[in-house]
Chain A
Amino acid sequence: MNSPVEDRLREALGEAGAMLDVGALRPLAAPDRRRFRVDMRLAAAAAAVVVAGAATVVGVTGVTGSGSQDGMTRAASQPTTPDQVDVSVFLCTGREPDKKACQGHAVTEEQKTTLAESLRRIPEVTSVRFEDRRAAYERFRKAFADYPGILGKVTSDELPESYHITVNRDRQRPVSEAAQEMPGVALVSNPAMAGVEGYSAASLRDLADLTAFLCNTSSVQPACDRYAASKTSKRGRAITATDLTKLQEQLRAMPEVRKVHFEDQGEAYAKFKKSYSANKAMLSAVKVEDMPMSFRIFLRPGADAAKVGAKVRSRPGVAQVIEMRCVVLPAILLGDHGLERKDVCR
C-alpha cells in the first residue's frame, strides 16, 4: 500500500536521479597506492596489459611471440556473414630464409594443387579463391595508395601468392592451424583472433598518430621507475592528477598536434573487453584498474611523428609512446598481404 506521499517522493527522486548528465560524467581516477610492494606477477600483468592495450587498437603481432600468426588485421576483401570469416593462406615465395615451413623454397605447382584440394575438402570451408602475384600486387597498391614510402619499398615479386578461404567462425582456428601445417604455406592469417577486424590502410586516417601510455600503479616501464623516484610528496608510480593536467596542456600547446584524446581506464577496458570477448581467461584476469590510461595524439599533416614521440616520451608520468603507424602498417602488410617488413615506418 503506497501512500500518495510515497508515490510523489518516489517519482521526484527518480526524476532527480535522472537529471545526471551521464555523458559529462568524469571517469573515476584510481588513487595512488600508498604501500607499494613489488610483486613480479603484478609486473607481468601490467606488461601484458600494456601490450594488450596497444593490441586492442592495432592488433599488434609478433609482440606476443607465438601469436604472430593469430592477431592479424586484414581488410575485408569480400563481405562475409557474421558467422563466417576470411582466412588468408599465404604461400612461400622462396624469399623467406628464416621461415622453417618454407625452408627457403618457393611453393611448387604440385604443392599448390594438393593444398587447394585439401582446403576444398574441409567441410567448414565454404569458398576457396586463389590470388596470383599480379592480383596480390594490385591489391597491395590499392591498399597503400596513400603511402608512397611503402609503395616504393615493395616490389611486385615480393608479394606471395595466396588462397583466400571463407570458413565458419567456430571452426576457423582448427582450420587455420591445419592449413599452417601444409607444405608450401608460409603464413595463415585471419581477422578474428585479436578482434581487430575492419582495420585497413584506408582506416588509418582515423587512427591516432601517437599513443602515449601513462604510468599507473602497476606500470613496469623504466620511465615509470624514474617517475616514481622523482616524486617527492607522494609515493607510488601512477601519474598524479597535476602531472596529467600539465601533460595534457603541454600536448595541446604543441604546434604539431592537431587533436588530443584522453582515454581513461574505463574506455581502455571497454575496448579490451571487446577485443578479447572470446578469451575468457584474459577477461577474468584483467580489471579496469589494470588498464593503462593514454593520450591518443593526432598530428597535423607533415608533422614528424618520431620527433614528437621522442618529446612526449621524456615527459614525467609517460610510460611509453607508440608510433601507431609503425605498429599498424607492418600488421596490415603481414596480415593482409603476407609480407613481413619491419622497415615500413621510416
Chain B
Amino acid sequence: MSVRAPTINDPESGAELDEHDPRRPTRPEDELIHHLERDQLVAATSLPVEQAALSPRARAALWALRVFVVLVSLMVIYTFIDQLH
C-alpha cells in the first residue's frame, strides 16, 4: 500500500493549529498531540511514499555510478590487503 507523497502547506497535512483556533481540543493529551503534523504520526510515516518513475537514462547513470564505485572500492580493499603484506 502506498500513499501520496507528503507535501507541505497542505491543509490535509494537519499543520499545527493556532492557539485560539476553536477546533483546538480541550483534553491535555489532545492538546499535546496537536503539536504534531498529521504526516508526522507513526501511522502516516509507516506507509510508503509513491515510487518515483526513473527514466531509462537516469537508471543507466545510477547503475554506471554504482558499478564504478564498487570497482574503485575493490581497488581500495585490494590495496589495503596488499599493504598488510
Q: Do A and B come from one complex?
A: no
